[in-house]
Amino acid sequence: MEIIHLILGKANPQRMNGVNKVVHQLAEKQAAFGEKVVVWGITENLEINFEARNFETRLFQKRKFPFFFSKELKEAIINTKGNAIFHLHGGWIPVYYTLAKLFFKHDIKFVFTPHGAYNTIAMKKNSLLKKVYFYFFEKKILQRAYNIHCIGKSEVHGLKRIFNTKKIILLPYGFENNPVIELKKVAEDNIIFGFIGRLDIYTKGLDTLIKAFKKFHVKEPSSVLWILGDSKEKQELQHIISKNSLDNSVILYGSKFGQDKDELLQRMDVFVHPSRNEGLPLSVIEAASYGKPCIVTDATNIGSEVVKYNSGRTIYCQSSEKLEKAMSEMFMIYSKKEEFIAMQRNAINMVRENYNWNKLLLKFNTDLYQI
């Protein structure tokens, strides 16, 4: 049985789009595991502008009307009947409604991963419009899906509030990283806090992060905060930084990929991700894999693991006071060489034990795809 991942985009890991990054690694690991896997991307640009990969990628032209798809895609789907299971990625995508109708008509099995689209906080954004759209379109996708894949407990909770079903499969993604990790052995005064991700100020809690860092920076003036990422909100975020007189202490690096990103991540001391809404943030898992203790909110769906492994701090509400307290606690640990090294090792172990691809891929086959 062939597994076909269907996404908007090209599954290019060198982009800020988290869904594309996750799908790339999932397909890559499935192919290495011996699965017959392919990624189909619906995209405006059909250019092959990504690096070589161990799985096939087919690109289909995106139509101007969001509910339409190309004739080539329709024919390709029908030709797979009985030989493939489709895996759709991402919520609130109009073309998926039309595709779900096609799958249903031809009795083609598909599973669906909304990637955090139905979390409670996500549902509050444009809530009235989403309620109408859900009733007429999105709900039909969920009804026709063979299984619905949630990657965090908050997503399960949010989904059950709007669509209570027994088709939900809770299963995280895996993560594999084999960097040369240098654990910090000598604490320095200028602790570096870091964030990597899309600059969505509200969703990612960057407003809270700046407020908390300002309070911490008063106590520790040599501390710095590095923010890697980009969006249309970058200028607004820079305004917030300047308004708080932090221009010399908070650095906006913009988007960084590959070796450039890895080098900056290695130099960070503590990773901070105070998001209000997530599915499962790959950036946190990646940072932990580098031995970076993490400060996260419970909304990231990784907070319980951070507590269990003592690999950082978890806060349970969106609060600059609580975030600043967590930063101060991490600075105290940072100043104690052996204690900080132990926490770095805990972060690495957390990723290795909870996000092991070899274990999780078996569950994808037996639980999600049921093949």
- Residues 146 and 205 both lie in one domain: no
Residue 83 sits in the same domain as residue 205: no
Same domain, 140 and 33: yes
- DSSP three-state, residue 345: helix
Q: From residue 351, give the alpha-carbon distance in Å to each of 37, 162, 356.
A: 25, 32, 7
- The reply to whether 35 falls in a domain is yes
Q: Are residues 34 and 145 in the same domain?
A: yes
Q: pTM value?
A: 0.87
Q: Are residues 213 and 136 in the same domain?
A: no
Q: What is the CATH number of the domain that holds 214?
A: 3.40.50.2000
Q: Who contacts 317 (Cβ-Cβ below 8 Å, separation ≥6)? A: 297
Q: Are residues 159 and 269 in the same domain?
A: no
Which residues span the domain enclosing 24? 2-174+357-369
* Number of folded domains that form the chain: 2
Q: Is 223 in the same domain as 101? A: no
Same-domain check for residues 267 and 166: no
The pLDDT of residue 189? 67
Is 186 part of a structural domain of the chain? no
Whether 185 is in a domain gets the answer: no
Query: Considering the domain boundaries, does residue 47 fall inside one?
Result: yes
Q: Positive or negative, the Cα torsion across 293, 299, 300, 304?
A: positive
Tens of pLDDT, residues 125-179: 788 999 999 999 999 999 999 999 999 888 899 899 999 999 999 999 988 876 6
203 and 337 part of one domain: yes
For 320-358, write each residue's pLDDT tens digit.
Answer: 999 999 999 999 999 998 999 999 999 999 999 999 898
